[in-house]
Amino acid sequence: MFINGLCTTMKILSILLSLGLVSLGVSAAEPTCTATATEKKLAGAAKSSFMKKCEADAQAKCEAAAGEKKLAGAAKNSHVKKCMSEAVGS
């Protein structure tokens, strides 16, 4: 009986770990706006223009994702804020 419980626990941990790695892979797949601007060695007006467009695109994607998840109110605001932070970078 102990072995069956252990196997079930291991299966659950395995699934959770797999889901965690998948979600980590998704967020790591797309570089942030800041990282992209740095990689392209943008500065001055070119960087400002790029960042403005990138932030607008990220805002649209985050809003759409919140809509798909049917979030509203504080939950939507929290999701969009976190999503924007991850998309824009520091």
Q: What are phi and psi of 31, to 5 degrees?
A: -70, 155
Contact 68, 55 (CB under 8 A): no
User: pTM surpassing 0.85?
Assistant: no
Write the pLDDT tens digit of every residue in 3-23: 555 556 666 656 655 545 434
Tokens of 50: 């790029």
Contact 54, 79 (CB under 8 A): no
User: What confidence category does residue 30 fall into, taking pLDDT thresholds of 50, 70 and 90?
Assistant: confident
Cβ density class 66-84: b for 16+ within 10 Å, e for less = beeeebeeeebeebbeebb
Tokens of 70: 């049917």
Write the pLDDT tens digit of every residue in 31-75: 999 999 999 999 999 999 999 999 999 999 999 999 999 999 999
